[in-house]
Amino acid sequence: MYDDYDIEEEKIEEGTEEAYCDICASETENDILNIKEFKNTIVMKLRCRKCGNIREVKRNVKKFIDVPVVFSDGADSIKASVKLPEDEIIAVGEEIIIDGYNSIITGIETIDAKRKNSDITSNIRTLWTRKFEENQFNIKIKKKDRHVFKKISAVVDEEFEIGDIIEVERNPVVITSIKLNDGTIIKKGIVQSRYIKQIFSRAVEKKFNRH
Residues near 52 by beta carbon (within 8 Å), at least 6 away in sequence: none
- The per-type count for the chain, helices as H runs and strands as E runs, is 0, 21
Residues contacting residue 47 through CB under 8 Å, at least 6 positions apart = 30, 31, 33, 53, 54
Residue 68 has pLDDT above 60, yes or no: yes
Q: Give 81-149 as a 3 state SS string.
A: EEEEECCCEEECCCEEEECCEEEEEEEEEECCCCEECEEEHHHEEEEEEEECCEEEEEEEEECCCCEEE
pLDDT tens for residues 97-108? 998 899 999 999
- Please indicate, yes or no, if residue 119 is contained in any of the structural domains: yes
The verdict on residue 209 lying in a domain is no
In a domain, 142, yes or no: yes
Q: Is the pLDDT of residue 14 over 80?
A: no
Q: Name the residue range of residue 87's domain.
A: 64-131
Indicate the SS3 state at residue 195.
Answer: helix
69 and 9 in one domain?
no
According to DSSP, the residues that pair with 35 across neighbouring strands are 11, 44
The predicted pLDDT at position 128 comes to 96
Q: How many structural domains compose the chain?
A: 3
- Residues 126 and 161 both lie in one domain: no
The torsion angles phi and psi of 122, rounded to 5 degrees, stand at: -65, -15
Domain boundary among 131, 147, 167: 131
Torsion (CA) 139, 144, 146, 149 in degrees, nearest 10:
-20
**Secondary structure (3-state) at 194:** helix
In this structure, are 53 and 68 located in the same domain?
no
Strand 196-203 and strand 134-142: pairing?
Answer: parallel
CB 165 within 8 Å of CB 199: no
Q: Which helix (H) or strand (E) holds 125?
A: strand 124-131
**Amino acid found at 22:** D
Across all residues in the chain, what is the average pLDDT? 88
- Residue 164: the pLDDT is 95
pLDDT at 85 over 80: yes
Residue 196, Cβ neighbours under 10 Å: how many?
A: 22
* More confidently predicted of 83 and 62: 83
pLDDT, tens only, 149-165:
999 999 999 999 999 99
Distance CA 196, CA 59 (A): 38
